[in-house]
A and B are shown apart, each in its own frame.
Chain A
Amino acid sequence: MPAVELHAVTKTYTRLGRPPRRALDDLHLVVGTGGVHGFLGPNGSGKTTTIRVLLGLVRPDAGEVRLLDRPVPAELPQVIGSVGALVETPLFFPGFSGRQNLQLLAATAGIPRSRVEEVLKTVDLRNRATDRFRGYSLGMKQRLGIAAALLKSPRLLLLDEPSNGLDPAGIRDVRELIRRLGSDGSTTVLLSSHLLAEIEQVADSVSIMAQGRCIASGPVAEVLAGRSTGDVRIRVPALAEATAVLTAAGFAVTPAPDGLLVHGVADPGAVTRLLAEHGHYLEELTPVSADLESTFLALTAPPA
């Protein structure tokens, strides 16, 4: 059962005196259960609108939306108790303490107060729990937002830029928390972020958004493989001779640290065989794969 399903979802924002803006354009996205799913896209690509549609905050113009196998918004109330969310800036009463804000939310769903203390401990805010929210730093506010999202012990956690405002240690802590949540098998984390490194480190799968559409989706390795460079890095004892052999066979070769970079290799075995036939035995051959950043930039680049 997919945790999140969007089929042919369209949303256009209209405002008086302004041209309409299409935020989601025939969006199809399916996220399976469990693990961490990275949700990437440049600003304005539709990530936050997608999360708002999933939470019933924004009504799509067309399309089908399902959350934990229930149609949204019709049956959202049936599953909302299993969905935790942090969307953009955490929204709390500035005059209430962190603990009071969480207790109010917990009371809404009949969650025991002991759970409030648990999540405060999880995000390391127990020492500041009695401080007013307005006195919190940006990072503390963000941590309280994550605590609120965790209150329900959710099966699906929707996190929109959770690392905003966090210091490096905070980013690391959140990353570890997300990884831990995603690895328990019962929680699905949909992590929207512009921090590609963050997604690459914690996500099992990824979707890339551009102009309201999902342009790539799948396990991280699969998405990266889809953007394979075709380059291989090799290490041989006689660099000059190997370069000559490969160049004569039609390969483009450039020097690389401790070896050579062979471009446009469809079959790495051909390189191995060719060099062996000429008496050069490889010490190393490594396919050069695309990283998420280059894949993301390539996929979301505006058409030339």
Chain B
Amino acid sequence: MSTAVDTASPTAPEPPTRPAGRFSELLRAEVHRLLARSFIRVVLALAVLGWLGAVVLALTQFSSPTPERLAEARTAMQQSVALSERFRQDCLDDPARPAEISGDDWCGPAQTVADLRAADFLDPPAFSLAAAGVEGAIAVGVLSAMLAFLLGATFVGAEWSSRSIVAQLFWEPRRARVMGAKLLVAAAASVVLGVLAQLAWPATAGLLQALVGDGAPLPDDFWPELAAAAGRGVLLTLLAGLLGLGLTNLVRNTGAALGIGFVYFAVLETAVNVLRPAWQPWLLTNNAAALALPGGLELSRPVETVDAAGRPVLESAVYVLGSVQAGVYLGLVTAAITGLGVVLFARRDVH
């Protein structure tokens, strides 16, 4: 049955129809939505508080090497050398020492003050920017990646739990566009988070070096290595943020996404490490570590071979997971999970 019902005045001019908003407006709304979320504000505030707490803690754990403290350290160093020499002498005098083995081979070479650094005998120690710079950037990269995963997951998870993402389709029915805007904003937010964290680290480390540092000069390759570690940390943060959003969008629930993450990292990866060590290069944690660490990650696993006599022997096979390889792999995993979520969102009915 088809019945036309026209109640309008036949002469009334019809106003023109309006299309959906521009993509830039959609992006602006997504940024607004991200920044207005209380949970995200609380998490970021807690991260800043945690950072300040860590700085205060570091200030209590390190102390600058004053001339008096350095003198004490040198005394402690000399006492250590003397103690070491006494033990070595006891070792050399031991009648059980085989005659054919030299004293240096059996008891080790004699230690002198030239072999040691007075700074190592400071208590509390002085902060060393040269030693902690790159390691700190890696740790900061891992922490910001974890934070980005959480933010990415809750960003879209909150929309699914409140179903406000459905209401958004009343305004922009092109679903790929809606999800594209969310992904872009999540990616930008992750990069900003990663960059801020990587800028905050040298600033903090510089402060510690100035207040409680060892005053030692930095090696020539310090800044390039720090910049490389920071860059890898930002990339890891970006991928983690997108992975959090992609996984949550796929399962349409923050709790479920975090649960899947927990089961994967706590159960599946452990099981793979124990039962299928050959699969270690495919684990996300190993790839994340390989991306973050300079030179990648060295993985070893037992391999059964045969010796010259044909007898089976168990050897350790070493596999180096390079940073580039890990970055590409993590990128592909993120793209696959995110892409699947976008395709399903674009094609399936929404209720």
Contact = CB atoms under 8 A, between A and B. Distances in A.
A181 interface: no
Interface string B55-86: 00000000000000000000000000000000
Nearest to A7: B2
B135 interface: no
A68 B15 CA distance: 11
B170 A92 contact: no
B158 A77 contact: no
Contact of B17 (A2, A32, A70): A70
Interface string A66-102: 0010100100111111111101011111111000110
B20 A31 contact: no
B21 interface: yes
A162 to B, nearest CB: 14
A262 to B, nearest CB: 31
A67 to B, nearest CB: 9
Interface stretch (A170-178, A210-218, A230-238, A240-248): A210-218
Contact of B350 (A57, A79, A93, A219): A57
B163 interface: yes
B97 interface: no
A186 B15 contact: yes
Interface of A: 1-2, 7, 13, 28-35, 37, 52, 55-59, 68, 70, 73, 76-85, 87, 89-96, 100-101, 103-105, 107-110, 148, 152, 155, 185-186, 188, 204-205, 207, 213-219
Contacts of A94: 162
Contact of B18 (A52, A152, A186): A152
A28 B19 contact: no
Interface stretch (B29-37, B222-230, B257-265): B29-37
Contact of A30 (B5, B25, B159): B5
Contacts of A81: 17-21
B168 interface: yes
Nearest to B159: A93
Interface of B: 1-9, 12, 14-15, 17-22, 25-26, 28-29, 32-33, 36-39, 158-159, 162-164, 166-174, 349-351
A155 B8 CA distance: 12
A85 B7 contact: no
Given A34-B7, A59-B349, A108-B26, A155 B17 contact: yes
Nearest to A37: B5
29 contacts: A1-B14, A13-B349, A33-B6, A34-B7, A34-B8, A34-B9, A34-B12, A37-B5, A57-B166, A57-B349, A58-B349, A73-B173, A77-B19, A78-B17, A81-B17, A82-B18, A85-B170, A90-B167, A91-B163, A100-B36, A104-B36, A108-B21, A108-B168, A109-B20, A188-B8, A204-B7, A217-B3, A217-B5, A219-B5
Contact of B7 (A68, A90, A219): A219
Given A77-B19, A109-B20, 17 more contacts: A29-B2, A34-B6, A77-B20, A77-B172, A80-B170, A81-B21, A82-B18, A91-B162, A91-B163, A91-B167, A93-B158, A103-B32, A104-B29, A107-B32, A108-B26, A109-B21, A110-B22
A205 B6 CA distance: 9
A105 B173 contact: no
B262 to A, nearest CB: 25
Contacts of B164: 91-93, 101
A82 to B, nearest CB: 4
Contacts of A77: 19-20, 172-174
A68 B17 CA distance: 8
Contacts of B169: 55-57
A32 B5 contact: yes
Contacts of B15: 82, 155, 186
Contacts of B36: 96, 100, 104
Given A96-B36, A216-B1, A108 B25 contact: yes
Most B CB within 10 A of own CB, among A90, A103, A186: A186
A58 B350 contact: yes
A155 B16 CA distance: 9
B3 A35 contact: no
B1 A217 contact: yes
A110 B171 CA distance: 11
Contacts of A33: 6-8, 14
Contacts of B167: 90-92, 105, 148
A25 B37 CA distance: 43
B8 A35 contact: yes
Nearest to A154: B18
A294 to B, nearest CB: 20
A1 B8 CA distance: 10
Contact of A82 (B17, B29, B33, B168): B17
B5 A214 contact: no
Contact of A108 (B8, B159, B171): B171
Contacts of A103: 32
Contacts of B166: 57, 87, 91
B170 A93 contact: no
A93 B174 contact: no
A186 B8 CA distance: 8
A107 B25 contact: yes
A218 B28 contact: no
Nearest to A4: B5
